[in-house]
């Protein structure tokens, strides 16, 4: 039962897909339109797939951000930099002999189902198109690269950009900058901007929980992980209380309070936002009402002139190589069982298409193992995948506010548990409870 599999993307999800498919003896062809392994973590000064800034460090901590098969180096800090992560992913690819299976600078243009059920994959390089047949498709093209812009009445006459295109903060030196959003990009951009800008302000349309990077000297996600055995509602209450005890209310910083307990939105992890607000370096603003030239008018009637507006308003899920009548997850629900199995098309696997409260690639690794085992006949999906996919949408790990960024959320620990249940017991025993390499 050896299959010929096309893997789209050589980011953290694509490389673990390739590694685990090769482990099961499948023939693997990875295509990536970039020039190196690492996806989002391959920083570039030029516009590219990557959305990281020159200063990005991860927000999911080291112990929870490593492949089970390949621990992060011992000398890496709790929150490695984007350079360290890129090196880690490239070392993974070298260690497991993946490079000969990857073709770079190749864009996957089109994936079509042939009448016999196989996939016809059309790629393009230097304007030349090639089509090849594959038994199965592993879709690992990432979901943080196609910018979602907000729309307001009027036109902003200064520079309007998206966080995807923020590269170096020297571009903001001496400028008046407005940052839109309360997610991790917004808070990172505000903090870095305020070090060099003439003015940095941040506009939130609602209240968010801001989690410090460390609690009692430990990375916050590992502290949160200690509570993974308590019911969700209690975990949310305890976490909310803990954050309030450490930082106080948002109103102490001039920001709106969160509408619900922790977990109602994707967590924002940042230890410097509040610090800089209380040093007068970042000023809070409410939601935007409209633009008037280089002036932004806010919903409370206040206004301010800016040179730059940075929309840190998230990303669309996008699979431009599929006919939208076949697959389109850019709006609304994403009904995939285990966030990877399509209800009706058996030979397509989405790897990494989920948003954990934690790190993506350990879950992508487990998904890849399940995919590889199914393709070699060692694992069989349930016959009611369709129903299970719908159940998963109806009963998410967290009830979150219904905004576009919250369609694929999972609880890191609960999701890993569900994936591990589909793998042989010896694999689970080998891992015990925590990922290999964990020290604390
Ligand atoms: C600033 C920032 C910080 C982040 N920090 C964290 C963090 O701390 N922890 C965490 O878990 N996640 C974080 N993320 C989320 C990030 O998406 C994941 O870390 C990770 O990169 C996902 O891996 P992936 O392989 O699924 O996707 P990507 O890393 O996006 O890789 C996708 C790959 O597919 C290739 N590709 C895409 N389309 C095509 C095509 N049509 N043809 C050929 N190749 C294609 C791309 O070139 C790329 O190499 C962060 C995201 C951002 C933007
Ligand atoms: N250092 C890091 O590791 C780091 C840095 C950046 C990003 N990331 C990761 O990258 C991913 C993307 O993060 P992101 O921050 O770019 O996007 P995001 O999580 O989707 O956050 C977008 C933010 O913009 C707001 N927003 C969206 N549309 C808006 C509108 N029309 N008007 C006003 N506000 C609007 C959202 O508010 P609502 O909640 O109301 O929708 C949210 O606060 C996440 O997984 C994140 O953890 C990590």
Residues 7-43 have pLDDT tens digits of 999 999 999 999 999 999 999 999 999 999 999 999 9
Atom 11 of ligand 1, residue of closest alpha carbon = 359
Atom 5 of ligand 1, residue of closest alpha carbon = 58
Q: State if residue 58 touches ligand 1 by the CB under 6 angstroms criterion.
A: yes
CB 208 within 8 A of CB 339: no
pLDDT value of residue 168: 97
pLDDT value of residue 229: 81
pLDDT value of residue 429: 60
Q: Which atom of ligand 1 lies closest to the CA of 37?
A: 49
Residues 61-78 have pLDDT tens digits of 998 999 999 999 999 999
pLDDT confidence tier of residue 90, bands split at 50, 70 and 90: very high
% of the chain beyond a pLDDT of 70: 97
Q: What is the largest CA-CA distance in the chain?
A: 66
Q: State if residue 143 touches ligand 2 by the CB under 6 angstroms criterion.
A: no
pLDDT confidence tier of residue 223, bands split at 50, 70 and 90: confident
Q: State if residue 186 touches ligand 2 by the CB under 6 angstroms criterion.
A: yes
In Å, what is the CA distance from 186 to each residue of 73, 164, 230?
A: 29, 11, 31
From the CB of residue 117, how many other CB atoms can be counted at a distance below 10 Å?
11
Q: State if residue 194 touches ligand 1 by the CB under 6 angstroms criterion.
A: no
Q: State if residue 321 touches ligand 1 by the CB under 6 angstroms criterion.
A: yes
CA of 354 to the centre of ligand 1 (A): 11
Nearest to 307 by CA among 153, 148, 204, 193: 193
Choice between 178 and 401, residue whose per-residue pLDDT is larger: 178
Q: The dihedral of CA 160, 161, 163, 166: what is its sign? A: negative
Average pLDDT over residues 386-390: 96
φ and ψ at 203, to 5 degrees?
-110, 125
Residues 390-401 have pLDDT tens digits of 999 999 988 899
pLDDT value of residue 357: 84
Atom 21 of ligand 2, residue of closest alpha carbon = 183
432: pLDDT strictly greater than 90: no
Atom 48 of ligand 2, residue of closest alpha carbon = 184
% of the chain beyond a pLDDT of 90: 90
Q: Which atom of ligand 1 lies closest to the CA of 53?
A: 1
Task: DSSP for 245-294, please give it.
Answer: HHH--GGGGT-PPBSSSTTSS--EE-SSHHHHHHTTSSEEE--EEEEEBT
pLDDT value of residue 433: 40
CA of 257 to the centre of ligand 1 (A): 31
431: pLDDT strictly greater than 70: no
Residue 384 has what DSSP assignment? T
φ and ψ at 219, to 5 degrees?
-55, 135
CA of 316 to the centre of ligand 2 (A): 11
Atom 2 of ligand 1, residue of closest alpha carbon = 52
Q: State if residue 179 touches ligand 1 by the CB under 6 angstroms criterion.
A: no
Of 164, 360, 361, 367, the one to substitute when testing ligand 1's pocket (max ligand atoms within 8 A of C-beta) is: 360
Q: Which atom of ligand 1 lies closest to the CA of 106?
A: 43
In Å, what is the CA distance from 25 to each residue of 22, 240, 376?
A: 5, 47, 8
Residues 255-311 have pLDDT tens digits of 999 999 999 999 999 999 999 999 999 999 999 999 999 999 999 999 999 999 999
φ and ψ at 309, to 5 degrees?
-115, 125
How far is 58 from 254, CA to CA, in rounded Å? 27
CA of 202 to the centre of ligand 2 (A): 13
How far is 309 from 291, CA to CA, in rounded Å? 11
Q: State if residue 158 touches ligand 2 by the CB under 6 angstroms criterion.
A: no
Q: State if residue 164 touches ligand 2 by the CB under 6 angstroms criterion.
A: no
pTM above 0.85, yes or no: yes
pLDDT confidence tier of residue 427, bands split at 50, 70 and 90: confident
Side-chain half-sphere exposure of 65, counting CA atoms within 13 A: 26
In Å, what is the CA distance from 261 to each residue of 355, 402, 437?
A: 19, 15, 32
């Amino acid at each position: 039962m050896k299959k010929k599999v096309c893997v789209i993307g050589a980011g953290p999800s694509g490389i673990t897909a390739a590694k685990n498919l090769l482990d099961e003896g499948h023939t693997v062809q990875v295509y990536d339109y970039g020039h190196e392994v690492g996806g989002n973590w391959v920083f570039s000064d030029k516009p590219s797939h990557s959305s990281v800034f020159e200063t990005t460090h991860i927000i999911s901590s080291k112990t929870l951000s490593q492949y089970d098969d390949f621990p992060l180096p011992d000398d890496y800090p709790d929150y490695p930099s984007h350079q360290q992560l890129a090196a880690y992913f490239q070392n993974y690819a070298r260690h497991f002999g993946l490079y000969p299976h990857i073709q770079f600078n190749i864009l996957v243009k089109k994936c079509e189902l042939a009448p016999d059920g196989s996939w016809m994959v059309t790629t393009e390089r230097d304007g030349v198109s090639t089509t090849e047949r594959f038994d199965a498709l592993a879709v690992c093209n990432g979901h943080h690269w196609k910018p979602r812009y907000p729309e307001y009445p009027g036109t902003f006459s200064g520079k309007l950009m998206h966080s995807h295109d923020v590269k170096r903060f020297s571009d903001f030196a001496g400028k008046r900058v407005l940052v839109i959003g309360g997610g991790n990009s917004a808070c990172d951009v505000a903090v870095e901007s305020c070090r060099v800008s003439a003015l940095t302000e941040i506009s939130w349309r609602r209240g968010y929980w801001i989690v410090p990077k460390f609690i009692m000297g430990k990375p916050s996600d590992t502290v949160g992980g200690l509570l993974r055995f308590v019911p969700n509602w209690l975990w949310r209450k305890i976490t909310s209380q803990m954050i309030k005890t450490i930082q106080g209310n948002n109103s102490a910083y001039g920001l709106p309070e969160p509408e619900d307990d922790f977990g109602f939105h994707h967590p924002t992890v940042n230890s410097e936002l509040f610090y800089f607000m209380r040093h007068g370096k970042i000023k809070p603003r409410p939601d935007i009402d409209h633009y008037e030239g280089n002036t932004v008018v806010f919903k409370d009637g206040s206004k301010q002139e800016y040179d730059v507006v940075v929309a840190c308003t998230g990303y669309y899920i996008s699979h431009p190589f599929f006919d939208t009548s076949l697959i389109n997850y850019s709006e609304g629900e994403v009904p995939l069982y285990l966030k990877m199995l399509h209800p009706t098309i058996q030979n397509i696997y989405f790897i990494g298409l989920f948003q954990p409260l934690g790190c993506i690639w350990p879950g992508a690794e487990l998904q890849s193992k399940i995919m590889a085992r199914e393709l070699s006949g060692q694992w069989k999906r349930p016959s009611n995948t369709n129903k299970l996919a719908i159940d998963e949408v109806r009963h998410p790990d967290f009830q979150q506010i219904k905004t576009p960024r919250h369609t694929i959320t999972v609880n890191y620990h609960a999701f890993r548990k569900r994936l591990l249940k589909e793998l042989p017991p010896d694999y689970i025993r080998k891992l015990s409870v925590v990922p290999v390499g964990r020290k604390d």
